[in-house]
Amino acid sequence: MSIELLNSIDSFVWGPPLLVLLVGTGIYLSIRVHFLQISRLPKALKLIFTAENQDEGDINAFKALCTALAATVGTGNIVGVATAVKAGGPGAIFWMWIAAFFGMATKYSEGLLARKFRTVDDKGNIAGGPMYYITLGMGEKYRPLAFIFAFFGVLVAYFGIGTFAQVNSIVEITKLNAGIPVTGTAVVLTIAVAAVTLGGLKSISEAASRIVPAMAVIYLVSTAGILFVFADKVPGAVAEIFHDAFTTTAAQGGFLGATVMFAMRNGVARGVFSNESGLGSAPIVAAASKAKYPAEQGLISMTGTFIDTIIICTMTGLVVVISGLWKGDLNGAALTNAAFQQAYPQMGGYLLMVGLVLFAFTTILGWNYYGERCIQFLLGTKAIIPYRIGFIALVGVGAFLKLEAIWILADIVNGLMAIPNLIALLALSGVVVSETKIYFDYLREHNK
């Protein structure tokens, strides 16, 4: 399939209707839950560590969040942000923030509904996510919508966020900074993924709960150091982000004729690629949480978007904008890598390499589980082992594909996966409101 045809399909899928549906759903849900992404954010952040985990489930709330973050904090935070700035200018970061702000209400609703409507598969594991809140919440007559979601969920895991985009970024950065041959990286990565994913959710969540906090701290300290070195440029970069968000930019260098709409499209699309709000992926693991109240899990899920985009993507975006290198010929991981080396000439590349490899590796693990739950919904538990084998094989193949086609393909299947989930969120918004009231009434009664 040619790049031109993929671009045409991508432009159609990510046209104004989907952008309006994504952001519009977030705005609508924000209003219905009284913008709790502002008022209840401190409570949500506290719950990450203090949730009581008193109900039945496969994993505790912290491991559920770490697994979700493992899947969301990936190349989108490093490569995706750089690609968005390259294509849409610094203004794309502003639209990433807007999508994330309203996306927090979307992610809250997804987590809540996943915990509210879940079931147990024939192997005794929790099964949940959009395909279940569609069938159990909206009714059996909407099962075709659930099948559509699950079908595209498998495609995203196999050909989108789950494999190709992550693997490509790992082999590029390791070759760039350490001179490791692509084949060598592909072999080691494939073996590592197989070793963890064949153990199922508990193995994945255990790895995620150990790796995710460490990798987030390493990356945030590294980027904070760059912003400290170039502290005098930070105010100008922030001003540039706000200015370019509403201004058509003249052609310059490799950045040709960006418009406000183009900045908006790239910011929203890359923001969703990174934090997955509205995509319907994170609720698949949120359903397995032992959190007692659906709204409690919703709050914990909501922090994923805040951590992923408002904090980590912003740090990357500022580093890229401050560097000024987005105006040149570099793109993707190479662009972020060059920006890191401006502040850390000797070790910048290695710092980014460690961060990117950990980010991308954990994303592969998380998306393996998402795709597994989707294939289980479509074909039953008998399909899980063949699915895992296919997934591992695609991780190996992904090392040898080109960057541009990968991002376009990932964008397309992401968008198609989001549509049935957003329809369900709008249809079940009344349940979100009622469960929110139940939980906050409980908190008031018990002075919590």
Residue 155 Cα distances to 109, 258, 263, 371, 415, angstroms: 24, 31, 27, 8, 11
Domain boundaries in the chain? 3-445
Q: What is the pLDDT of residues 332-346, one digit of tens each?
A: 778 888 888 888 888
Distance between CA atoms of 211 and 218, rounded to whole angstroms? 11
For the chain, which residues score pLDDT lower than 70?
1, 53-55, 57, 248-259, 261, 273, 402-403, 406-407
- 3-445: in CATH 1.10.20: no
pLDDT for 147:
96
pLDDT for 409:
77
Q: What is the pLDDT of residues 26-71, one digit of tens each?
A: 999 999 999 999 999 999 999 888 877 666 767 777 787 888 787 7
Distance between CA atoms of 164 and 406, rounded to whole angstroms? 6
Q: What is the pLDDT of residues 355-400, one digit of tens each?
A: 888 888 888 988 898 999 999 999 998 999 999 999 999 998 888 7
What letter does residue 128 receive in the DSSP assignment? E
What letter does residue 448 receive in the DSSP assignment? -
Strand partners, 289: 59
Cα distance from N-terminal residue to C-terminal residue, the chain = 56
